[in-house]
Structure 1
Amino acid sequence: MGRDPTGLGVARAVGFVAPALLLIGLFLVFPALWTLYIGITDYQLTGPAAASPSVVGADNFTTALDDPLFTNSLWLTALFVLGSAVVGQNALGFALAWLLRRVRPGLRRTAEGFVLLAWILPGPVVAYLWFAVLSRDGGTLGLLLDRPGTAWLVEYPMACLVVFNTWRGTAFSMLLYTSALAVVPPSHLETARLAGAGGWQTVRDVVFPHIRGHVLTNTLLISLWTANDFTPFLLTAGGPNHGSEVLPVLIYRQALEGGRLGYASAVSALLLLGNLVVALVYLRLLRRRA
């Protein structure tokens, strides 16, 4: 009975989880294994190698590690994740949750609705709106700053992408921190107020110790999402001169524009490995916190 507390039996239990396992295997495990296989071949989009690819072992991986374009994309991806996720979405999401906690319910729901709107809109729609803001020809930002004709996406591509992704993804952090702040005992906040603690002191000494696990979880999720985000391609297409070519954009351009599917798959595998390393670091921090 200890092995089957629900009394379903092994066959019924397997039957319940089989559809979920089938979907996971079909849409997650199989594509990952297929990508790893293609990554060790010279598979091309067209030509003889498209019909009969040859196994080249780790050549694609060593080529990627020696490729200046890969190194450049790796650095830009780290900058993109750090600026727009770890710092941008985390800080802005917490600030909104902290400031809205005492606002009247109607006004709070309205503000949260506007923030959520940026998150739920399709990526192409959001990219088009921001392209209109940052456009050199009559863009909203140039008119507001009295700098008409400034090509923001050409002169400051990564800064534009960091601001764009922070604006677009803050809603998730705001919702998570709103729920996290609800578990902070009001008596602790009141004690800090009576002791004369300022806002930053209250957050550092009272709030943060209670929500540290939420901060780590949120940072893990938004970091992984941002590292794999393809939306920057819709704004800059990796330009100018590879100045905003984060890893997902590099993979796309190598695979579909360059036809190097084997090489692009190897870069995808390296990106997957990086995601796993980041996830393991965060999970270890969470376990240590627990």
Structure 2
Amino acid sequence: MRARERGRTSGAARTGQDSSGLGVARAVAFVSPALLLIGLFLVFPALWTIYIGLTDYTLTGPSSVAPSFVGLTNFANALDDALFGNAVWLTLVFVIGSAVLGQNLLGFALAWVLRKARPWVRRTTEAFVLLAWILPSVVVAYLWTAVLDRDGGTLNTLLGNGSTAWLVEYPMASLIVFNTWRGTAFSMMLYSSALAAVPPSQLETARTVGASGWQTVRDVVLPHIRGHVLTNTLLISLWTANDFSPFLLTAGGPNHESETLPVFIYQQAIANGELGYSAAISFLLLIVNLVVALLYLLLLRRRA
């Protein structure tokens, strides 16, 4: 029997077929549409961005028609640009404050509290959290502008204070709260699914021995959902680092105090017309995203 199976396997290998019998030609035909879409919408734009980043391409003027090759000049200029360094720092603050800490902790807290809540309470809370996530960015930005406005804003009205311009005096803090409020839904849903896989017997044992809530989470829950925490942190960090929504609230101001990298790239490309320079910065952001993704895969492999 084993000899017969080995004979079939070797015969399939000789005829160019896989174990399912599709064959190389059919397998390539099945995956070619996906490969075409990936090449058209991912690979080609990335290669085009690299090319533009190596030129002095501008939005208007002679360089918009016949750009010159400048090599790594744009990349060197970016590393020497104080505004680029400021954008990198603000992006790091934005990601850590609103994604790594804000969305992670709030999403887990909601999932942990709602797991024992009454069905109607859980469904109502989840509906409101999801509503914040699925609303268009323009609508959400308008709502938060109305909340944080100095003259007649909801927050100032509740506080009895009509003189605080939150988006001007505390732009980054406002953006962190805004992004935490808006993006928590994904973390809540992922952690809700992860907590459902924790064995109830272990939770009951921890309760029986008198473990506190934090001790239960640390010693029982986290070992089971560590992979989910890693996946969630990676995804929300990448989404936040590439989020353009802050532009709708502060446009990078005042005085570049809330100018994250996506906003900085937009300002350089559209406001200043420096398409080559902005493309070089976009490529640097792409490299950072790839490094973070590779680090995640490395950590996931070590865990496995």
TM-score, normalisation: structure 2: 0.94
* CA apart distance, 1:23: 0.7
CA deviation map 1:4-30 (0-9, x unaligned): 122112121111111111111111111
Q: Does 1:11 align with 2:44?
A: no
Aligned counterpart in structure 1 of residue 271 of structure 2, from 249, 257, 281: 257
1:112 alignment counterpart: 126
Aligned to 2:65, which of 51, 54, 59? 51
Q: Name the counterpart of 1:22.
A: 36
The yes-or-no answer on 1:130 pairing with 2:178 is: no
Percent of pairs with identical residues: 75
Residue number in structure 2 paired with 1:243: 257
Determine the structure 1 residue equivalent to 2:164: 150
- Stretches (4+) displaced over 6 A: none
Q: What is the aligned residue count?
A: 290
Q: Output one character per residue of 1:30-83: Cα deviation in whole Å (capped at 9) or x when no partner.
A: 101100110010000000000010110000000000000000000000000000
Structure 2 counterpart of 1:204? 218
Counterparts of 1:180 and 1:4, CA distance in 2? 35
Partner amino acid, structure 2, of 1:204:
R
Q: CA deviation at 1:286?
A: 1.4
**Secondary structure of the corresponding residue to residue 192 of structure 1:** helix
Distance 1:14 1:172 in 2: 35
User: Secondary structure, in 3 states, of the residue corresponding to 1:243?
Assistant: coil
Rg: which structure is higher?
Answer: 2
Specify the alignment match of 2:100 in structure 1: 86
Structure 2 residue aligned with 1:176: 190
- 2:116 aligns to what? 102
Moved more, 248-257 or 268-277: 268-277
Shift of 1:106: 2.4
RMSD: 0.9
Q: Which runs of 5+ in 1 are unaligned?
A: none
TM-score normalised per structure 1: 0.98
